[in-house]
Amino acid sequence: TLNYLGKSSVHQQRSFMSAEVGSNVTLHCSYGTEAARYYWYKQSLGQKLQIISISYKFDKSGEFHDEFQDNPRFTVKTNDGKSQLNIFHLKPSDTGTYFCASGISFVFEFGEGVTVSVKNPVLENTSWIRQSESGTVQMGSSVTLNCTVQTGSCGGEHSVYWFRHSGESHPGLIYTHGGSSDQCGKSPNTQTHTCMYDLPIRNLNKSHAGTYYCAVISCGQVLFGNGTKLDVEGEAVSLSLVYFLSAALIFTIILSVLLAFTLHKMHKRNSCQTSEFNGRLSCHPATSTEVHRVAGDLHYAAVNVNQLSRPRRHRKSTESECVYSAMTHTLN
């Protein structure tokens, strides 16, 4: 899209349409801002833009140029910020991309463009084009799109074009190449020529998603394929995996902290009970009348003996001694 104002205010309905020879089509265009002049252009495959008509603010019928002048098959109607181009009794030569545009002073705004493919039912039995089946591929992988062309008894080289259309943009030309004799073969029974062309796409990402069209110019006619829709997935799955792993990591950290705290408490409790059983009074100091219950039915008591009649020297040595009495009993 040619646009010198940034985001264009010119919009076209539909981006690709197929029609048969002899039928009629109407192309629509809307303008977000009022302009002094309104244009319609045609671009044939591999050719430069051709101006079809110019409509002025106060002249709604349009003024046609070049081969479209005095051609009753083309009419234009512009009114209330909208314009439509009518093409009657389609011919194969009408195949191409049609653009609408608006002009203010020296600034032009172009629409997204509509590609029209005109098919000839008479030639479909001898000339046709087929593309790869649509499918879904993973991000980072590679894919090769195929385009098989049969041109009947007409030989010669082909001009091959690949277009891509996504939901955010109009069909844009992404690749073109000429024909090559080593890609084509001739059937001895039907005298038809069949050619195969490939479009490899590597390291796929979201920007590669869309519908790919193969177009071939051969023997004075233009053949368009039905398109291959390519969906690229993988980003959402990756984000879900990241969220899951993050949640699992947080849960593991919390669980580890709780287990460490529990083990610390159990170790402290066991150390305290061991000290009591060994007669160490550091955890729960025992008095002369305190009795402890340890290990089920085992009872013990600490008894302090005070000898008042002994000299201070002997008394001091005996005050730090404890006599333990153990008693076990059997419950009937």
Q: How far apart are CA 288 and CA 310, in angstroms?
A: 20
Residue 108 has pLDDT above 70, yes or no: yes
Contacts of 307 (CB under 8 A, 6+ apart): 314, 315, 318
Three-state DSSP state, 322 = coil
- Beta-carbon count within 10 A of 282 CB: 9
Residue 164 has pLDDT above 60, yes or no: yes
Using 50, 70 and 90 to split pLDDT, how confident is the model at 182?
low
Tell me what pLDDT residue 31 has: 85
Mean pLDDT for the stretch of residues 28-32: 87
Last residue of a domain, one of 195, 214, 232: 232
255 inside domain = no
Tell me what pLDDT residue 242 has: 75
257 inside domain = no
Dihedral sign for Cα 101, 103, 106, 107, please.
Answer: negative
In this structure, what token pair is assigned to residue 185? Answer: 């073969």
Dihedral sign for Cα 229, 235, 236, 241, please.
Answer: positive
Q: Do 110 and 171 sit in the same domain of this protein?
A: no
14 inside domain = yes
276 inside domain = no
Q: How far apart are CA 270 and CA 243, in angstroms?
A: 41
Q: Do 129 and 160 sit in the same domain of this protein?
A: yes
314 inside domain = no
Tell me what pLDDT residue 50 has: 93
Residue 325 has pLDDT above 90, yes or no: no
Tell me what pLDDT residue 78 has: 85
Contacts of 165 (CB under 8 A, 6+ apart): 15, 16, 171, 172, 210, 211, 213, 227
Tell me what pLDDT residue 290 has: 44
Q: How far apart are CA 189 and CA 187, in angstroms?
A: 6
Mean pLDDT for the stretch of residues 282-307: 47
Tell me what pLDDT residue 163 has: 85
Q: Do 113 and 127 sit in the same domain of this protein?
A: no
In this structure, what token pair is assigned to residue 297? Answer: 């039915």
Tell me what pLDDT residue 6 has: 46
Q: Do 25 and 102 sit in the same domain of this protein?
A: yes
- Beta-carbon count within 10 A of 13 CB: 14
Q: Do 98 and 144 sit in the same domain of this protein?
A: no
Last residue of a domain, one of 70, 103, 119: 119
Could you tell me which residues are beta bridge partners of residue 261? Answer: none
Tell me what pLDDT residue 79 has: 82
Q: How far apart are CA 106 and CA 112, in angstroms?
A: 20
Contacts of 257 (CB under 8 A, 6+ apart): none
88 inside domain = yes
Q: Do 125 and 228 sit in the same domain of this protein?
A: yes
Residue 286 has pLDDT above 50, yes or no: no
Residue 37 has pLDDT above 90, yes or no: no
Q: Do 81 and 136 sit in the same domain of this protein?
A: no
Last residue of a domain, one of 193, 209, 232: 232
Top-confidence residue, 235 or 177: 177
| Residue in this structure with the two tokens 């801002």, named with its chain if needed | 33
Tell me what pLDDT residue 25 has: 94
Per-residue three-class SS string for 242-267: HHHHHHHHHHHHHHHHHHHHHHHHHH
Q: How far is CA 29 from the centre of its chain?
A: 30
Mean pLDDT for the stretch of residues 178-184: 59
Q: Do 137 and 206 sit in the same domain of this protein?
A: yes
Domain encompassing residue 195: 121-232
Using 50, 70 and 90 to split pLDDT, how confident is the model at 318?
very low
Q: How far apart are CA 168 and CA 84, in angstroms?
A: 22
What is the secondary structure of 301-321 as a DSSP string? EEE----TTS-HHHHHHHHT-
Q: How far apart are CA 185 and CA 183, in angstroms?
A: 7
Mean pLDDT for the stretch of residues 35-55: 88
Q: How many domains does the chain have?
A: 2
Residue 285 has pLDDT above 50, yes or no: no
User: CATH no. for residue 101?
Assistant: 2.60.40.10
